[in-house]
């Protein structure tokens, strides 16, 4: 084992335990190298530095192919340097030859677990402890230092929503640059907030139902009814009204019905049968 507990030397004897078993807990990168291949020595150094920098987000297993020929044969290593990525007991990807230095962290980030966001963890803990002001203050300070990290304003908006501050939350998100407002995690929240505001100012449910019975293409009434249904946790009814509105008046409020369907489906568990069913309907709307 190397000096750090997340860098190991791989052998035929320990490979299955070290790589395959550990890959069920996280990303394992196996670097195949040989001391007589200059490029593989450079790659080995870069990967070792990254393993230390990432401090456990991935496990680095170094295999000297001169000493571990059976392993090289087992995994079809024909050229050096070469590295392979393992997760959940399976190989995900492999790369041959030295990569551009900037590509190594990009490749690892694609597969490795994301680092724990301590600010968000602290803010959620403060909220759960009954101190929303402290939670918001932590997020404001973090957003100032990392203005491109949308996780902070998104969580701030969610806390404001939990406080029933449904006018403050959209003001916060609408103050973001337009390019950020179009990001899925922000646009979805804005759509959800629009539902809440619409439901708060909507007519009585019975009156809305009477309006669309009399005039099925009444877009405003149908959208308000969808918002009221959502507010009352009648998810499927809300989706049905939004689907009808998308078919009848697709341009209503710049396609808010379609955006609303997407936002609602993103809220549901991916295993919920309604997700697949209504995503198919969304797809059909495009054709």
Does residue 232 form part of some domain? yes
Q: pTM (2 decimals)? A: 0.55
Does residue 220 form part of some domain? yes
For residues 251-268, average pLDDT: 88
Q: What is the pLDDT of residue 3?
A: 43
Report how many domains make up the chain: 3
Query: 99-116 b/e with 16+ CB inside 10 Å = b?
Result: eeeeebeebbeebbeeee
* Tokens, residue 250: 């697709």
Please give the residue range of the domain that contains residue 34: 7-111
For residues 227-243, average pLDDT: 92
Within a 10 A sphere around the Cβ of 40, how many other Cβ atoms? 23
d(CA 155, CA 37): 49
Q: What is the pLDDT of residue 268?
A: 80
Residues 174 and 214 grouped into a single domain: no
Q: What is the pLDDT of residue 110?
A: 87
Across the strands, what pairs with 132?
none
Q: What is the pLDDT of residue 139?
A: 94
Does residue 191 form part of some domain? no
pLDDT at 61 over 90: yes
Question: What tens digit of pLDDT does each residue of 169-216 get?
Answer: 999 999 999 989 988 889 889 988 998 899 889 999 999 999 999 999
Does residue 194 form part of some domain? no
Across the strands, what pairs with 94?
84
For residues 43-55, average pLDDT: 91
Mean pLDDT of the chain: 90
Closest CA to 154 of 179, 181, 129: 181
Does residue 73 form part of some domain? yes
| CB 86, CB 94: distance < 8 Å | no
Q: What is the pLDDT of residue 24?
A: 86
Question: Helix, strand or coil for residue 256?
Answer: helix
| CB 127, CB 162: distance < 8 Å | yes
Q: What is the pLDDT of residue 2?
A: 41
Q: What is the pLDDT of residue 115?
A: 67
Does residue 122 form part of some domain? yes
Question: What tens digit of pLDDT does each residue of 114-156 get?
Answer: 666 788 888 988 998 899 999 999 999 999 988 888 989 999 9
Q: Residue 80 burial by CB count (10 A; 0-12/13-18/19+): exposed, middle or buried?
A: buried
Within a 10 A sphere around the Cβ of 45, how many other Cβ atoms? 10
pLDDT at 21 over 80: yes
* Tokens, residue 108: 């690892």
- Cα-Cα-Cα-Cα dihedral sign, residues 123, 124, 127, 131: negative
Helix, strand, coil percentages in the chain from 3-state DSSP, rounded to 5 = 60, 10, 30
CA distances in angstroms from 151 to 45, 127, 128, 207, 235, listed in the order given: 33, 16, 18, 39, 26
Q: Return the biggest CA–CA distance within the chain.
A: 83
* Tokens, residue 117: 């966001």
pLDDT at 269 over 90: no
Going by their DSSP bridges, the two strands 90-96 and 82-87 should be labelled as antiparallel
% pLDDT > 70, the chain: 97
d(CA 37, CA 215): 77
Task: Output the CA torsion 146→148→151→155 (10° steps).
Answer: 80
For residues 236-249, average pLDDT: 94
Residues 44 and 106 grouped into a single domain: yes
Q: Which of 8-22, 43-57, 60-74, 273-287 has the lowest mean pLDDT?
A: 273-287
Does residue 16 form part of some domain? yes
Q: What is the CATH number of the domain that holds 244?
A: 1.25.40.10
């Amino acid at each position: 084992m190397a000096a750090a507990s997340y860098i190991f030397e791989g052998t035929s004897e320990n490979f299955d335990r070290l790589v395959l078993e550990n890959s069920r807990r996280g990303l394992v990168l196996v670097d195949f190298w040989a001391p007589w291949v200059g490029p593989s020595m450079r790659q080995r150094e870069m990967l070792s530095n990254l393993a230390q920098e990432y401090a456990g987000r991935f496990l680095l297993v170094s295999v000297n192919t001169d000493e571990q020929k059976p392993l090289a044969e087992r995994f079809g290593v024909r050229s050096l340097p070469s590295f392979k990525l393992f997760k959940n007991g399976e190989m995900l990807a492999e790369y041959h030859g030295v990569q551009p230095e900037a590509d190594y962290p990009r490749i690892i980030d694609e597969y490795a677990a994301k680092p724990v966001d301590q600010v968000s963890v602290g803010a959620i803990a403060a909220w759960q402890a009954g101190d929303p002001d402290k939670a918001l203050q932590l997020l404001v300070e973090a957003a100032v230092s990392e203005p491109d990290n949308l996780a902070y304003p998104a969580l701030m908006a969610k806390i404001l929503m939990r406080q029933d501050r449904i006018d403050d939350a959209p003001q916060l998100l609408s103050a973001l640059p337009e390019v950020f407002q179009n990001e899925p995690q922000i646009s979805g929240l804005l759509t959800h907030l629009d539902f809440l505001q619409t439901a708060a100012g909507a007519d009585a449910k019975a009156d809305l139902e009477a309006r669309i019975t009399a005039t099925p293409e009444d877009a405003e009434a149908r959208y308000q009814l969808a918002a009221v249904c959502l507010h009352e946790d009648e998810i499927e009814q809300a989706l049905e009204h939004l689907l009808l509105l998308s078919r009848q008046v697709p341009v209503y409020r710049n396609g808010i019905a379609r955006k609303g369907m997407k936002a609602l489906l993103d809220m549901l568990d991916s295993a919920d049968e309604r997700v697949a069913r209504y995503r198919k309907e969304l797809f059909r709307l495009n054709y």
